[in-house]
Amino acid sequence: MRVIFLGPPGGGKGTQADFIAKKYDIPKLSTGDLLRESVAKETSLGKEAKGYMNRGELVPDAVVIGLVEEKLASPECQKGFLLDGFPRTVTQADQLSTFLESTGEGLDRVVYFSLSKNEIIRRISGRRSCPECKAVYHLESVPPKREGVCDVCGKSLVQRNDDKPETIESRLSVYQEQTAPLIEYYKTRNILSELDGAGLVSAVQDRLVALLAQPRVE
């Protein structure tokens, strides 16, 4: 399976991607995770990306495309992959399609997570994560057992820098301007499936599993 999860920040892509990658035994490539890892390790790529990320802007295409192509060329991606948060611009989508053509592979499906703006803001502002094991929580809908502490590894939970209120609006407008055009882009290629991203994690998961089991509507 070669699939893309497309949708607004806070739309639940990452949470569902973890589950689907395990279920289908394919690697999940999250450009957000890869970039945060580079920032934490203070690599030169991380140093370049950090400012853009903290401002809620997109990291330049060339940086992200290089990162993804390197991963896609690795042996573990030969059996399939799940891209979470990439592509985010038309340039990235064009480059991805050129890259996949060169390998003789195509995409099976793009799942578009749709969600209202109010729900996106509610999800992002309540999101907390573990800096150690990367487990993700939500203050209201998926709270940890002990307030502020990771259930899995006991570390203190943190709020992502770019989840702070002052950055959310800019991420949403970047999404509208640069990423939302990909909905039409993939629709015209008959590869888009829309998923209602509202509701409990388990409900979205059930809808997603059912959707992936269906043949694509051409």
Q: If binding is defined by CB under 6 A, does position 7 make contact with ligand AMP? A: no
What gap in Å lies between CA 35 and CA 54, rounded to an integer? 12
Q: Is residue 146 flagged as an active site residue? A: no
Q: If binding is defined by CB under 6 A, does position 204 make contact with ligand AMP? A: no
Q: Give the binding range for ligand AMP (CB under 6 A) out of 17-25, 54-62, 110-118, 210-218.
A: 54-62
Q: Is residue 171 flagged as an active site residue? A: yes
Q: Which of 31, 32, 172, 148 is nearest to 96 (CA)?
A: 31
Q: Give the binding range for ligand AMP (CB under 6 A) out of 55-63, 114-122, 132-140, 183-191.
A: 55-63
Q: Give the binding range for ligand AMP (CB under 6 A) out of 80-88, 111-119, 127-135, 189-197.
A: 80-88
Q: If binding is defined by CB under 6 A, does position 8 make contact with ligand AMP? A: no
What gap in Å lies between CA 152 and CA 164, rounded to an integer? 24
Q: Which of 47, 80, 87 is nearest to 64 (CA)?
A: 87
Q: Output the smallest distance, CB 163 to ligand AMP, in A.
A: 9
Q: Is residue 50 flagged as an active site residue? A: no
Q: Hey, which residues between 93 and 132 contact ligand AMP (CB under 6 A)?
A: none
Q: Give the binding range for ligand AMP (CB under 6 A) out of 16-24, 50-58, 72-80, 200-208.
A: 50-58
- Please select the residue that binds ligand AMP; options are 21, 29, 88, 115, rule is CB under 6 A: 88
- Please select the residue that binds ligand AMP; options are 21, 45, 53, 192, rule is CB under 6 A: 53
Q: If binding is defined by CB under 6 A, does position 35 make contact with ligand AMP? A: yes
What gap in Å lies between CA 200 and CA 22, rounded to an integer? 19
- Angle, nearest 10°, between helix axes 90-103 and 61-72? 30
Q: What single-letter DSSP state applies at residue 23?
A: H
Residue 164: helix, strand or coil by DSSP?
coil
Q: Is residue 127 flagged as an active site residue? A: yes
Alpha-helical regions (H) of the chain:
13-24, 31-40, 44-54, 61-72, 90-103, 117-126, 165-174, 181-187, 201-213
Q: Which of 64, 52, 56, 65 is nearest to 95 (CA)?
A: 65
- Please select the residue that binds ligand AMP; options are 6, 77, 162, 192, rule is CB under 6 A: 162
**Alpha carbon 90 to chain centroid distance?**
16
Which residues bind to ligand AMP, rule: CB under 6 A? 9, 31-32, 35, 52-53, 56-59, 64, 85-86, 88, 92, 162, 171
Give the catalytic positions in this structure. 13, 88, 127, 160, 171
